[in-house]
Structure 1
Amino acid sequence: MRVLLSTYGSRGDVEPLVALAVRLRALDAEVRVCAPPDEEFGQRLAGVGVPLVPVGPSARALATSAPPPTSLPERAAMLIASQFEAIPPAAEGCDAVVATGALPAAAGARSVAELLGIPSVSVTFQQLTLPSPHHAPLAYPGRPLPPGVTDNRALWDLDARYVNELFGEALNANRASVGLPPVADVRDHVVGDRPWLATDPALDPWRGPADFEVVQTGAWVLPDERPLPVELEAFLDDGAPPVYVGFGSMRVREGVADAVVSAVRARGYRVVVARGWADLGEDLDGCFVVGEVNHQALFRRVAAVVHHGGAGTTTTAARAGAPQVVVPQLADQPYWAGRVAGLGIGAAHDGPVPTAGSLSAALDTALAPGTRARAAAVAGELRGDGAEVAAELLVDLVGREGSAVSTRD
């Protein structure tokens, strides 16, 4: 069996595919991954013996450029076109395609799978892209949701219109160029009738109902066996557990890291700062600065994790039993901040720009003994088999599709 895993996004979009690829290979499947050409993604995949098929421009360059080099529809058109260019040769001989990441890229990937007659699965790592009466959709830059509209179904109808306006022309132009018919609803084309939600049910329960069946596999996490750097181990051993501060792939505003570090130090804690895509730590004296590191091991050694609220970081901290302070920057991050606060495993900062003062209450909550006890209890409820579940589902899907073809023949 051969499977193509396709994404476009940050490390949080690529890392789950690493876990799925490893589980698929354990089932004797051949796996390829289409992802942005960033060096860190290629190295991560090479480390588990999976080839990277580069697609589109550097995700890091797009995420950290200010202002963005092109408008959202222009970037979407570029991503869609890159899928139509890269995926056909990469999917040659494949039995299934897994499409995830940025919506326009996933739309392109599913269209190419349709062209090649290969079954495809739509996957999301957070449920806010799945229409539901229980939550509102995410707002697109320049397309805010009307503040006076509170009915979620009405907001999802508006979301469908926005998606078509932003991405429909480019998608259908590329589909027409290869002889595919146009799609009337881009979002429905991406979501399909049986999308997969790759999040942990205890951390992110799917409430439903919806107009389609949602398969919640659990989060796709690969156990990280890498040792921590010797210097970091020595720092951790040389005092009380520090507080971790990191914002992943976010381009954080000036002064944010300084404010967080000042608030942490005011409580007498040492600080570990992750550089991330914002290159934090260059001007933060006295902090231990880390680059690529085993977060699973590190988060088990810290007093708390202060972060942006990406799905991957939130899940990793929750699995480690580390109390969290989430300072959400954009997209689904306010949702994850709310989940952390709602579960009692940390605190949510109100807004993306903290000050030393505004973080005080959040840190007090996260560093309280009761929060650590609650975080430890929730960690014991989280599953670790999401990638295995997804791999077995893919094997079943390919088997069913193959049987259907044999029957028709």
Structure 2
Amino acid sequence: MPSYCVVGGGISGLVAAYRLRVTAGPDASITLFDPADRLGGVLRTERIGGQAVDVGAEAFIARRPEVSALLAELGLASRQVGTTGVRPLIYAGGRLNSMPQGTLQGIPADATSMAGLVDEATLAWIADEPRRPLPWRPGADPSVGALVADRFGQQVVARSVDPLLGGVYSGSAATIGLRSAVPPLAAALDRGAPSLSEAVRRSLPTPTGGSVFGAIDGGYQVLVDELVRRAGFRWAHVGVQRIERSGDAWSVLDDDGSHCHADAVVLAVPAPRLPRLVEQVAPATAAAAKRIRVASNALVVLALPGGTPLPEQSGVLVASGERLHAKAVTLTSRKWGRRGNAELLRLSYGRFGDDLARNAGDEELLSWAADDLADLFGIRQDPVDCFVQRWIDAMPQYGPGHADLIAELRTGLPPTLAVAGGYLDGIGVPACVASGTRAAARLTTSRVAR
């Protein structure tokens, strides 16, 4: 019977293990290595204020099919929920502003969507953009910030683009590549759009009328538990030191010094952990992985007393350069609907390049959260419950040229080794589900070929 090892128990590794089980059948041996206290990685659900709250990834893009299809396959389609339809705000210039409409990752198609958010000089620069020559080279991959600042001005970057990219990547427009962050826009420019304004206009998705974001009633733990049940693997509660060749198969050396032999292995670990595992068997892959930069963040979840006067908005995204500590605030009870007596909020801290998530203590983070809520909404209210979660080196940065880097990383792998994770083809949960599926398919296909 075939034998497989999966290193890493986040959503990518769990999906890979489940797909291997479905394809290889009930007699296949599948061992999953993860030293954590529970499986799921950044999909983590806690009980806060009497309610289930996701303290890692919170939502998924509903227009991507992977999560919805997986939930349906697992008999969990009825657990998918959408937002209430309320919209977020942007904190910029020391005040709350409406989220601009008609933008693509905060990049406007015309000046009208930026009115009130940026100054008059910037509005005039945006309006004039279609009349200025656009020196675009097909295949180019500049940072989002460099392109937008050149065409629309730095205020658009700081007040509209940075808040969105900070929420997705814990990074900034200066460090995120255009092709990774906004692939339809890069494609429109490659096809000859005469201006950035026109490229955005051509790339805006057709409104569907449904919820942009989805979540799971009961939290992501519902999905994690069902994947674990269906995959039927042996969970080894240890980390892995390295992968070695063992004839035509592999030997997985764990933290206890034991070896687990397998025909094929999925490496579903964060990018910083990959080089040590494969440097002896796939040195080019290890070298490529070392070039992927990562960010850390910290999350403060507060349960405020019911009736606390919060705006009917989904949350607040914070422009770069503002005096708030938080980079984003999610008004969870407003975004997804009230499900208990407490008002739930999530405040996110930390961006690429800082050590805030590592160095700030829990009490300091909670103090910042109280100050930020007072500055944003004018409220000072003691929570009835709270929770602090740190995600260290968990947010890969999709810099310019990221796709070429990942192609190089994958090319260096032997056929019966596969990688999966949020640093490959997208940071969201749907992309991670796709990466786990792709990794399992690679291994089962290579085994058939042998």
After TM superposition, the score normalised by the length of structure 2 is 0.29
Name the one with the larger helix percent: 1
Name the one with the larger strand percent: 2
- More relative contact order, 1 or 2 (CA 8 Å, 6+ apart): 2
